[in-house]
Amino acid sequence: MKYILSPSLLSADFARLEKDIRLCENNNVSYLHIDVMDGHFVPNISIGVPVVKSIRKCTKLVLDVHLMISQPEKYIKAFAEVGSDIINIHYEAEGDKISLLKEIRAMGKSPALTIKPKTSYKEVLDLAEYVDMFLVMSVEPGFGGQSFIESTLKNAEGLAEYREKNSLSYDIEMDGGINADNAAAPLDSGVNIIVAGSAIFGASDPEGEIKSFNKILNRYEEMQ
Ligand code: DX5
Ligand code: ZN
């Protein structure tokens, strides 16, 4: 299994996104996590389709797009067309999840399903065959810079156990409140993709933070 860092641009400098993207590229980062918020599914508004389009033109990194929006069915096509690679929809959002995940796949994109901290992994096991990745939220979606919610580790553990028992191969990503000091807990719970926003872009030395994450992820990769 690949261990991957997906830096969240939500905490980057939006006026200088290219600079932060180059920083990621120059430090062996392969994913970029892009948080899309509609002010309805979550009480915040962030970035939308035109920004993803511009980011796509500027980098070949895997665009891991996290849609925190109530009606993904209205927008997944647009996010696919501008070059998203992974499209994460929320289990708690509106619409039939199986059709939406199938639609993402049919557009040649990687379908992923996200669960909020209070949703149990048990609710989404039936959807495992339709996803390449589960995204487990370790904070309430909507804002960067919150504290990690420990109880969400059981969602990662449950998904990892189910993956093992059924010889499946989906990725498990965790998002929210993760830094280089607490990343071991999710990784020990079966997570293989770590999202980090403020821990990287809010740090005085973002490059040093990426390197610290890379060191930890390399260790887990070697331990397999
Ligand atoms: C929160 C977003 C996260 C956020 C993580 O709703 O989904 O991706 O950027 O930020 P940190 O790492 O600061 O918790
Ligand atoms: Zn996110």
Q: How much is the pLDDT for 87? A: 99
Ligand nearest to the CA of 42: 1
Is 13 marked active-site?
no
Number of domains in the chain: 1
Domain extent, residue 84, equals 4-222
Contacts of 88-91 with CB under 8 Å at 24 or more apart are 88/64, 88/112, 88/113, 88/114, 88/133, 88/135, 89/113, 89/114, 90/41, 90/114, 90/115, 90/116, 90/141, 91/115, 91/116, 91/119, 91/123, 91/124, 91/127
Q: Is the CB of 116 under 6 A from ligand 1?
A: no
Ligand nearest to the CA of 148: 1
pTM over 0.95: yes
- Mean pLDDT by runs of 10 across the 224 residues of the chain is 97 97 98 98 98 98 99 98 99 98 98 98 98 99 98 98 98 98 98 98 98 98 95
Q: Domain with 84 in it: what CATH number?
A: 3.20.20.70
Q: How much is the pLDDT for 64? A: 99
